[in-house]
């Protein structure tokens, strides 16, 4: 596949030249999309119309399999989100030449030019969005240079940009609940979020996800489903009777975990949205029994932000303010986990029942 507009850039760009690079990249990408040179699908995600497009048919199919999109009755003008491989288009993308930490200046420079973007931490890996029309691009030199975590949660930075304009936030978190009400599960990697979600699903509870979910404050506080898959280490799968035999033969991801769509195993367990009734901070302790301990509001807000460490860099202050507002409305607890998944599910179910009765 060749580009409709050939791209020729210097080997590197600096802060002074980044706006010009983005102007030319967006012009060429818009031309490639309008000329029909990209594979695309129009869909709805969390009530927002989006047009997903890529230089690769396989990449579009992966996005369709991972993202909780609906292609039926899409209304409104969609924002375009592009996932591109430069070598497929005959393009070359420059490297970032600044060696000093310039993120605040980088963000300010792009904002003046009408863009928002992830800081280019990785060589020739660019993610950016035009603020005027929501046109977003993630471009890498080749698909072999994609970060390993991108396979499970593709386009997540662009989703964060797209939904942030409506006051929503993409969270590194999970949920588990029943009848439209849920506990939001927060914590750093390895704290037990995915295992707690899986324990709940195996015992009749529901979820919108275990890793990245959307927090929507516009109608109370609700969490919404973004991605279809959940991830669990083989040891965690073995705690659920019969589950390892059904999903454990799949290849492991970069973290040594199995990725699968829980709807294949627990029909109707994955829902599209839930009202946040509680906040839980799971903690793996291998205690003899699960224990709940209340968490003070300010500490809870800080822990929620800490749970997103290394995610969404540059948004710490805004996220702390958002989490402070959330914890003013929703009680928080630490959940110290025992090895028994049924016990964890039962405690969460009872907590949500009491919380709903008290509201």
Q: Do 283 and 336 belong to one domain?
A: yes
Per-residue pLDDT for 22 more than 80?
Answer: yes
Q: Is the residue at 313 inside a domain?
A: yes
- For residue 191, the model assigns a pLDDT of 85
Q: Is residue 7 part of a domain?
A: no
pLDDT bin (cut points 50, 70, 90) of residue 3 is very low
Same domain, 210 and 325: yes
Work out the average pLDDT over 183-210. Answer: 93
Query: Is 2 contained in some domain?
Result: no
Mean pLDDT of the region 210-227? 94
Residue 159 in this model has a pLDDT that exceeds 90 = yes
User: Of 129-138, 211-220, 310-319, where does mean pLDDT reach its minimum?
Assistant: 310-319
Residues 124 and 190 in one domain: no
Residues 205 and 139 in one domain: no
Among 90-99, 107-116, 175-184, the least confident range: 90-99
On whether both 255 and 193 belong to a single domain, the answer is: yes
**pTM, to two decimals:** 0.92
**Does residue 1 fall inside a structural domain?**
no
Residues 210, 153 share a domain: no
CA 45 to chain centre: 13
Same domain, 183 and 328: yes
- Where among 164, 198, 220 does a domain terminate? 164
Is 72 or 117 the better-scoring residue by pLDDT?
A: 117
Q: Given the structure tokens 């930075």, which residue do they identify?
A: 157
In a shared domain, residues 51 and 160: yes
What's residue 6's pLDDT? 61
Residues 30, 58 within the same domain: yes
- pLDDT at position 29: 94
| pLDDT over 80 (residue 110) | yes
Residues 202 and 155 reside in one and the same domain: no
Query: Over the chain, what HEC string results?
Result: CCCCCCCCCCCEECCCCHHHHHHHHHHHHHHHHHCCCCEEEEEEECCEEEEEEECCHHHHHHHHHHECCECCCCCCCCEEEEEEEHHHHCCCCCEECCCCCCHHHHHHHHHHHCEEECCCCCCCCEEEEECCCCCEEEEECCHHHCCHHHCCCCCHHHHHHHHHCCCCEEEEEEEEEECCEEEEEECCCCCCHHHHHHHHHHCCCEECCCCEEEEECECECEEEECECCEEECHHHHCCCCCHHHHHCCCCECCCCCEEECHHHCCCCCECCEEEEEEEEEEEECCCCCCEEEEECHHHHHHHHHHCCCCCCCCCHHHHHHHHHHHHHHCCEEEEEECCCHHHHHHHHHHHHHHHHHHC
- We report the CATH number of the domain holding residue 273 as 3.40.50.300
Q: What is the mean pLDDT of residues 63-92?
A: 92
Query: Does some domain include residue 229?
Result: yes
Q: What is the mean pLDDT of the chain?
A: 91
Which of 164, 189, 223 is where one domain is finished? Answer: 164
Among 282, 277, 300, 297, CA closest to 355: 277
132 within 8 A of 114, measured Cβ to Cβ = yes
Final residue of a structural domain among 164, 196, 228: 164
Residue 41 belongs to a domain: yes
Confidence of residue 298 (pLDDT cuts 50, 70, 90): very high
- 318: confidence class by pLDDT, cuts 50, 70, 90: confident
Same-domain status, 126 and 174 = no
Residue 3 belongs to some domain of the structure = no
User: Do 196 and 335 belong together in one domain?
Assistant: yes
Question: Total domain count for the chain?
Answer: 2
pLDDT of residue 4: 47
The stretch 180-195 carries a mean pLDDT of: 91
Is 346 within the bounds of a domain? yes
Residue-number span of the structural domain to which 245 is assigned: 169-358
Whether the predicted pLDDT of 1 surpasses 60: no
């Amino acid at each position: 596949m060749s580009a409709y507009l050939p791209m020729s850039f210097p080997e590197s760009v600096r802060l002074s030249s980044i706006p010009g690079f983005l102007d030319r990249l967006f012009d060429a990408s818009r031309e490639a999309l309008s000329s029909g040179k990209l594979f695309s699908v129009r869909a709805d995600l969390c009530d927002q119309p989006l047009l997903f497009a890529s230089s690769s048919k396989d990449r579009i199919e992966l996005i369709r399999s991972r993202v909780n999109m609906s292609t039926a009755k899409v209304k409104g003008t969609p924002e375009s989100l592009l996932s591109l491989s430069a070598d497929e288009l005959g393009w070359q993308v420059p490297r970032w030449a600044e060696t000093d930490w310039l993120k605040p200046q980088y963000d300010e420079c792009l904002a003046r030019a009408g863009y928002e973007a992830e800081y280019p931490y990785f060589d020739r890996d660019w993610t950016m969005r035009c603020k005027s029309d929501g046109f977003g691009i993630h471009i890498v030199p080749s698909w072999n240079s994609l970060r390993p975590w991108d396979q499970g949660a593709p386009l997540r930075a662009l989703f964060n940009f797209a939904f942030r304009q409506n006051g929503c936030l993409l969270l590194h978190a999970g949920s588990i609940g029943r009848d439209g009400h849920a506990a939001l599960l927060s914590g750093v990697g390895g704290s037990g979020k995915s295992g707690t979600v899986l324990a709940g699903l195996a015992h009749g509870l529901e979820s919108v996800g275990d890793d990245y979910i959307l927090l929507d404050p516009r109608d109370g506080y609700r969490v919404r489903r973004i991605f279809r898959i959940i991830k669990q280490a083989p040891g965690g799968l073995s705690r659920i009777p019969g589950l390892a035999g059904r999903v454990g033969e799949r290849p492991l991801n970069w973290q040594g975990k199995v990725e699968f769509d829980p709807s294949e195993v627990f029909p109707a367990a994955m829902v599209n949205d839930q009202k946040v009734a509680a906040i839980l901070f799971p903690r793996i302790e291998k205690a003899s029994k699960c224990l709940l301990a209340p968490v003070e509001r300010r500490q809870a807000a800080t822990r929620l932000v800490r749970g997103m460490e290394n995610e969404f860099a540059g948004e710490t202050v805004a996220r702390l303010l958002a989490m402070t507002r959330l914890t003013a409305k929703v009680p928080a607890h630490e959940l110290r986990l025992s090895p028994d998944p049924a016990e964890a599910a039962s405690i969460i179910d009872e907590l949500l029942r009491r919380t709903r009765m008290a509201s």
